[in-house]
Amino acid sequence: MHGRPPGPDGTPGAGPALLLVIGNRNYSSWSLRPWLALAMTGAAFETLRIPLSQPDTQARIRQYSAAGKVPVLVDGGCTVWDSLAICEYLAERFPSARLWPADPAGRAQARSVACEMHSGFTALRRELPMNIRLDRVGHAWSPEAQADIDRVLALWSGLRARHDAGGPFLFGRFSIADAMYAPVVLRLRSYRVPVPEDAAAYMRSVLDLPPMQEWIAAAVSEAERIESFER
């Protein structure tokens, strides 16, 4: 289910308990993270897409969150904003989805990995912005961005080596850690970043997820173009 429109007075309309407000699928990496986690729970929810960088963007988002940023999760009378906070809420709301590893040590490590993505990798995010429609050969980036890429690849390699027996994701089965790094998978693909085979295999596992395929298809069909992401 996708897209619950506002009511006739411009306020959020009535609908199912779970509504996720997102930005452009092509550009909004922070929107993708909780959307993917929520889709992987199997729960019914609706998506409201508010295109970014439009004259009415802020006003529309503030109908759902005073922070004025996407993503926003509305669950009945509860509103949660910030990607990682939403993912944490989903882990508690849907415990059977096992969005964090079951054992305390694995859970703590997965949280560390997710938080490192949430607060770090600034050069990578700045110089290789998410743009799913892009397929660019010869894109140049700084040594700082390369250091971020090297750190990501080292993280993936170490985690996959330890958890390979449990499945194809960072901690074996899919977790919030994978949702947090899903936009990086798309970035590395869009900018043709060379990666070793173990990273390429992990990227294929993420890209092959049905919700990721759904997100990518919707991103490709979007009409909006934001120049700051295209340069």
Q: What CATH number is attached to the domain comprising 135?
A: 1.20.1050.10
Beta-carbon count within 10 A of 194 CB? 9
Specify whether 116 is located in the same domain as 210.
yes
**Residue 10 domain-assigned (yes or no):** no
pLDDT value at residue 17: 78
Specify whether 71 is located in the same domain as 115.
no
Specify whether 118 is located in the same domain as 190.
yes
Eight-class DSSP state of 42: T
Beta-carbon count within 10 A of 13 CB? 13
pTM of the entire predicted model: 0.92
Per-residue pLDDT averaged across 196-205, rounded?
A: 98
Using CA atoms in the order 194, 195, 201, 206, what is the torsion angle rounded to 10 degrees?
-80
**Residue 202 domain-assigned (yes or no):** yes
Compute the distance between CA of residue 113 and CA of residue 105 in angstroms, rounded to an integer. 12
| pLDDT tier for residue 4 given thresholds of 50, 70 and 90 | very low
**72-38-150 Cα angle (round to 5):** 90
Specify whether 29 is located in the same domain as 137.
no
Specify whether 164 is located in the same domain as 204.
yes
Specify whether 85 is located in the same domain as 118.
no
Number of domains in the chain: 2
**Residue 223 domain-assigned (yes or no):** no
pLDDT value at residue 57: 96
Helix (H) or strand (E) holding 210: helix 210-221
| pLDDT tier for residue 16 given thresholds of 50, 70 and 90 | low
pLDDT value at residue 231: 72
Which residues constitute the domain of residue 165?
97-214
Which tokens go with 202?
A: 């992990």
Compute the distance between CA of residue 200 and CA of residue 208 in angstroms, rounded to an integer. 12
> For all residues of the chain together, what is the average pLDDT?
93
**Residue 1 domain-assigned (yes or no):** no
The pLDDT tens digits for 48-69 are 999 999 999 999 999 999 999 9
Specify whether 104 is located in the same domain as 200.
yes
Specify whether 180 is located in the same domain as 106.
yes
CATH number of 69's domain: 3.40.30.10
